[in-house]
């Protein structure tokens, strides 16, 4: 990666923290299709809820197309008939861990029902599982996931399936990579990153202007927006590079292997084709680490000053 600037706050001689700070989430929704591929996402949601003492809502949505067959559903839809029993079983297992949990089985358009659940429960986080990485090296993101990325009112955490027989451990995010283009959503993402990173924070910006080598402005903005955290002794590295932003994030994640990648959410005005080609979808599809997608903060007044500085040329 071609870097024009790289700063390590005083953190190289600071004793690292022993654990990450918790996610700032109190109500978590985990949407599941009850497939084996969603197990990692469910474990991740449980870990966050347990560490945070949060309420966990498990949601499974049955597509109404299953009721369009008066002679009985096709074999591949038979699994929906046992959805209530399976969700009740999962809920009971989660409750044994001391986690406050509820489950719901909904019928309707999947994206609409999930969004309604987020609204009804004032959810602060939605956890989704992605499919396995394909032969082309990309995760399969369904239509529902792409729609939720643009329309969810709360952050979304996407979790890829386990790549080995050893289940991953979730819930503590020691090394966090956050990318910002200085948009409102990416500033919200940076805010979350500063709150959850435990041992190390890497802040990345890919300058589209092509002047990143000789121009110090972007690096100075990053240093202003994410200074060394004196209160928690958190080292912060600032990196400015050029080229395609998605490729820059994927390359950095591949090399640095962060526990978590954080990005700003696509604008709700994005069309379906735009979402498919967005930086967010390309990053989710190209990295194995969980990815937190953060929408623009509703509390704009809190971010007025840093947003103004971030957008000054």
pLDDT (0 to 100) of residue 30: 94
- pLDDT by residue (tens digit) across 66-113? 444 444 444 444 556 678 888 999 999 999 999 999 999 988 888 899
Asked if pLDDT for residue 227 goes beyond 70, the answer is yes
Across all residues in the chain, what is the average pLDDT? 77
Question: Quick one: average pLDDT of 145-160?
Answer: 88
Range with lowest mean pLDDT among 58-67, 90-99, 147-156: 58-67
* Model confidence, pTM: 0.81
Asked if pLDDT for residue 236 goes beyond 70, the answer is yes
Asked if pLDDT for residue 22 goes beyond 70, the answer is no
Could you give all domains of the chain from N- to C-terminal order, each with its CATH number? 3-20+172-310 (3.40.50.620), 27-159 (3.40.50.620)
Please answer whether residues 253 and 177 qualify as being in contact, where contact means their C-beta atoms are separated by less than 8 angstroms.
yes
Distance of CA 41 to the CA centre of its chain: 11
Asked if pLDDT for residue 180 goes beyond 60, the answer is yes
- pLDDT by residue (tens digit) across 193-221? 988 898 899 999 988 766 666 667 888 88
Task: Look up tokens 């004196």; give the residue.
Answer: 230
Confidence of residue 294 (pLDDT cuts 50, 70, 90): very high
Using CB atoms within 10 Å of the CB of residue 51, give its burial: 0 to 12 exposed, 13 to 18 middle, 19+ buried. middle
What single-letter DSSP state applies at residue 179? E
CA-nearest of 96, 4, 111 to 63 is: 111
The runs of H, that is alpha helices, within 76-175 are 83-95, 110-120, 143-151
Asked if pLDDT for residue 117 goes beyond 90, the answer is yes
Name the strands in the sheet holding 125-129, side by side, starting at the edge strand that comes first in the sequence.
Answer: 3-8, 236-242, 200-207, 175-179, 260-264, 291-294, 156-159, 125-129, 27-31, 55-62, 100-107
């Amino acid at each position: 990666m071609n870097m024009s600037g790289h700063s390590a706050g005083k953190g190289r001689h600071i004793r690292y923290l022993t654990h990450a700070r918790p996610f700032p989430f109190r109500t978590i929704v985990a949407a599941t299709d009850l497939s084996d591929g969603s197990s990692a996402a469910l474990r991740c949601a449980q870990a966050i809820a347990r560490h945070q003492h949060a309420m966990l809502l498990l949601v499974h949505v049955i597509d109404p197309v299953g009721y369009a067959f008066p002679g009985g559903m096709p074999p591949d839809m038979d699994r929906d008939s046992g959805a209530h029993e399976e969700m009740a079983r999962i809920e009971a297992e989660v409750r044994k861990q001391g986690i406050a949990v509820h489950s719901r089985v909904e019928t309707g358009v999947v994206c609409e029902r999930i969004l309604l659940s987020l609204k009804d429960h004032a959810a602060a986080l939605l956890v989704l599982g992605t499919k396995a990485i394909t032969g082309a090296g990309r995760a399969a993101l369904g239509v529902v996931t792409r729609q939720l990325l643009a329309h969810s009112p709360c952050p979304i955490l996407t979790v890829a399936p386990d790549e080995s027989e050893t289940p991953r451990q979730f819930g503590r995010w020691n090394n966090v990579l956050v990318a910002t283009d200085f948009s409102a959503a990416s500033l919200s993402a940076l805010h979350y990153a500063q709150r959850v990173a435990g041992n190390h924070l890497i802040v990345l910006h890919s300058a589209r202007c092509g002047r990143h080598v000789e121009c110090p402005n972007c690096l100075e903005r990053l240093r202003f927006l994410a200074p060394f955290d004196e209160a928690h002794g958190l080292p912060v590295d600032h990196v400015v590079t050029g080229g395609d932003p998605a490729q820059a994030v994927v390359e950095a994640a591949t090399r640095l292997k962060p526990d978590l990648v954080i990005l700003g959410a696509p604008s709700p005005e994005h069309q379906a084709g735009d979402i498919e080609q967005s930086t967010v979808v390309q990053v989710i599809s190209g990295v194995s680490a969980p990815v937190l997608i953060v929408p623009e903060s509703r509390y704009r007044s809190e971010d007025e000053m840093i947003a103004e500085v971030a957008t000054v040329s």
